Amino acid sequence: MTDISPPIAPGTLTGKTALVTGSSRGIGADTVRYLAAAGANVVINFRNKAPRAEKLAAEVRELGVEALVVGADLTDGDSVAAMFDAVSDAFGGLDILVLNASGGMEGGMAADYALQLNRDAQVRVLETALPLLRGDARVVFVTSHQAHFIRTTATMPEYEPVALSKRAGEDALRERIPALAERGIGFVVVSGDMIEGTITATLLERANPGAIASRRESAGKLYNVSEFAAEVAQAAVDPVPADNTRLVGDISSFAPEA
């Protein structure tokens, strides 16, 4: 995490508990750092990076907060249920749920893996978390402009299956906004451009050399991991936008939906 100003004032989240999916590294890990720095107890979820997750937990405990590390495959319902059982045992409930984990460009996965992870698993995690979400809780879904605007603006062919699946996940979650609102739970989509230093950016660059540099030139600036994570963390505490959407960075290259 670079030395940027903490996005949330220390003490703002004292007594609160936050879970960030896919938080052993990258955007998820820095989001955990920011939430912990604001006083939140944190749940660090990982799929296969246990040592990194444990190292992050040790780091944030130095801030005086509690940290629970839970491995879970979000595409497996039993694994997700076990994760939230552990959260319930440790903290009794949740105040912030950040749906950060995503994928679909990995090799060797099933043909529908992107849809399983980026749509079906996101809904499963939210539904499984619902009994634990306290009044005035906040749910944050992390996505990209390339996915958010996929219906009106084409993206790189290599990324299109991921973009379509993430937009499907966003749509499925948005359908639940009225039911969440009835319970006092806020929901925000945080959409950003390609993020410098992420696994997705690395895989895209490998599949389409020059893609990131081209996008950087077009946008004028691409956020790095810590800068974008700060926006995700802020979305957990800022007022919910009227359209439930927080757009981060330049969107002039993307056509809005009618």
Q: Which segment of 3-12, 46-55, 171-180 scores lowest on mean pLDDT?
A: 3-12
Q: Which residues pair with 187 in a beta bridge?
A: 139
pLDDT for the residue numbered 2: 47
Mean pLDDT of 175-186: 97
pLDDT for the residue numbered 197: 64
For the chain, counts of helices (H) and of strands (E): 11, 7
Residue boundaries of the structural domains of the chain: 17-248
Is residue 45 scored above 80 in pLDDT? yes
pLDDT digits (tens, 9 = 90+) for 204-254: 677 677 767 776 777 667 778 899 999 999 999 999 999 999 999 888 889
Q: What is the CATH number of domain 17-248?
A: 3.40.50.720
pLDDT digits (tens, 9 = 90+) for 64-103: 999 999 999 999 999 999 999 999 999 999 999 999 998 7
User: 73: Cβ–Cβ under 8 A, 6 or more apart, which residues?
Assistant: 47, 79, 80
pTM of the model: 0.92
pLDDT for the residue numbered 194: 77
Tokens of 217: 């030139």
Amino acid identity for residue 101 in this structure: A
CB burial readout 144-179, b (16+ within 10 A) else e = bbbbbbbeebebbeebebbbbbbbbbbeebbebeee
Cβ neighbours of 61 (radius 10 Å): 14
